[in-house]
A and B are shown apart, each in its own frame.
Chain A
Amino acid sequence: MLSAAKQRRVIPGFGLTLGFSLLYLGFIFLIPVGGLLLYTSMMSWDDFWKAVSHPQVVASYKLSFGASLIGATINLVFGALVAWVLVRYTFPGKKIVDALVDLPFALPTAVAGIALVTLYASTGWVGRYLDIFGIKVAYSQLGVVIALTYIGLPFVVRTVQPVLEDLEAEREEASASLGASRFTTIRRVILPSLLPALLTGYALAFARAVGEYGSVVFISGNMPYRTEITPLLIVSKTEQYDYQGAAAIGTVMLVAAFLLLLLINGLQWWTQRRGW
């Protein structure tokens, strides 16, 4: 406590920097978000419920959350594998592969969207081969899953990678010297240490996917009840000046995002507390 008080006296700028940060956050974030919540709260409960439980909207929740869950699960498996390969093995071009993992984070979603639909359309480089087996990706729910997998790709890799790097080899050696097979060591020693990071990455990928718009709308085809994601409904309601309907659904999405963020923070706290 004493040292904290001393440091506060030595380093200047606390009031200035915190004040500016809070002012900026207040104006650009808290007041506008408050405006949306207030707007929704002025709707009658019946109107609100009708807007958020319309069958078309419910179908979009199912698709948005379902496809995000599948996409995040694919990323959990392959993200862990990619992180493992990047940390533990050496192969030519590793540095470039490592850098490329961030591409979905840096590439505009609209660009990703038109690239994915071009690849997976029945005339595309990938789509034409899938077409032979009767698999349709573009303009189907599978296309939504593909786009959401793409957008969530960096998260699991980037949360697992540093934890895997810091993992002490001694623990694995100890496990092996006690007679555990490699598989047992991975399952009983490595996997439990990675668990918080894996779950954090999973939740981040899921949260990002639920709200995603740009990369999905091109490949999904946006058919009502079938391939319409929730963010698209918000866009079309806003375009039709149905502010109430849009605000109601937007509030649902906002609450979902907030809960997910709470979960992610909890997971990150868990990761740090375990010291990995």
Chain B
Amino acid sequence: MTTQVLTHVGNPELAARWRRATDEPAWLRWMLIGIALTFLALFLVLPLTVVLYGAFEQGLQVWWAAINEPDALAAIRLSLLVVPIVVPINLVFGVAAAWAIAKFEFRGKPILISLIDMPFAISPVVVGLIFVILFGSQGWLGPWLAVHDMRIIFAVPGIIIVIAFGTMPFIARELIPLMQQQGKEEEEASLTLGASGWKTFWYVTLPNIKWGLIYGVILCNARALGEFGAVAVVSGRIRGETNTMPLHIEVLYNEYMFTAAFAVSSLLTGLALVTIAVKGFVEWLGERRTRR
């Protein structure tokens, strides 16, 4: 910006040279934009289009029939059962971890942050395996569970546990930088004015982190519904019982019922699109706030 003000002082030739110095020529600019957009079209837009095309190719009725079908409905119901358990737990964890990390100094903090990051790096399949080793029939607690007639692996509790593990970082990762950036002056002011800790959290901290929190919850929600590798290991794929939506998609695909597979996929795709739209909105809000 400043360069333009400087160079426009009656010297167009200099102005052009300045612009060239920190800018690329137009042809190169458009070529780079073209390459980048082609890459993204190939890897992002085409897969998205193929899902939606596959889902709606044979009309809305076929799409609806594929979703309004007992096994699909059972998968949707199971997925919707998991979310209200997993998301609140990870929400409480995310807020607690972010509060401890952002507002206090303590030894071993980097280790705690790394631990929260671990599910990003661990293969979902290994996550599933870990709990099979713990609760499976030949695992550590398998014999004890069998005696007490309890099932965790190949049953709903196992699915809930692995999804909770897999989606553990999302809300925490969203809140930690946000709360660190906002510091603790506002909370300290509220507390010195006599507000209780809960009241301070509710009226001072929460409004500040509201949108980051909402995005974290929506992302956690989308990932919980979409978790595949870990669930594939622990669920046993019992139709109508332990098939979540992604597993049901796999079953349909392997049975060559492509339209039905894409129809169920389109639901999760819609959710993914909502998720990235909310993220865009939250970022836009953040930018507007810093500009003010």
Contact = CB atoms under 8 A, between A and B. Distances in A.
Nearest to A26: B115
A232 B225 CA distance: 21
Contacts of B222: 106, 108
Contacts, number: 306
B146 interface: no
B40 A101 contact: yes
B34 to A, nearest CB: 9
B188 A108 contact: no
23 contacts: A11-B104, A13-B99, A17-B97, A24-B93, A28-B168, A29-B118, A29-B165, A106-B223, A107-B226, A108-B272, A109-B229, A110-B265, A111-B269, A115-B51, A118-B54, A119-B46, A125-B50, A211-B126, A213-B229, A214-B229, A231-B124, A234-B126, A235-B233
Contacts of B119: 29
A18 B104 contact: yes
A103 interface: yes
Given A110-B250, A213-B125, A17 B132 contact: no
Contacts of B265: 108, 110-111, 114-115
B22 A103 contact: no
A172 interface: yes
Nearest 3 pairs of A and B residues by beta carbon: A211-B123, A108-B226, A176-B21
A241 interface: yes
A107 B269 contact: yes
Interface string A4-20: 10011011111011101
A103 B39 contact: no
A18, A114, A172, A211: most-surrounded residue (chain B CB, <10 A): A114
Contacts of A33: 130
A247 B133 contact: yes
A70 interface: no
B125 A211 contact: yes
A197 interface: no
If over half of A's interface residues share one DSSP class (helix, strand or loop), that class is named, otherwise mixed; here it is helix
A47 B51 CA distance: 44
B50 A103 contact: no
Interface in B190-228: 191-192, 197, 201, 219, 222-223, 225-228
A36 interface: yes
B50 to A, nearest CB: 5
B100 interface: yes
A164 interface: no
A21 B130 contact: no
Interface size on B, as a range, is 35 or more
A173 B21 contact: yes
Contacts of A55: none
Contacts of A78: 35-36, 39
A103 B123 contact: no
A12 B48 contact: no
Contacts of B54: 118
Interface in B68-103: 89, 92-93, 95-97, 99-100, 103
B168 A29 contact: yes
Interface in B39-65: 39-40, 42-48, 50-51, 54
B226 A243 contact: no
A250 B21 contact: no
A18 B101 CA distance: 8
Interface string A86-126: 10010100010111111110111111101110110000111
A120 to B, nearest CB: 10
Contacts of B227: 108
Nearest to A212: B123
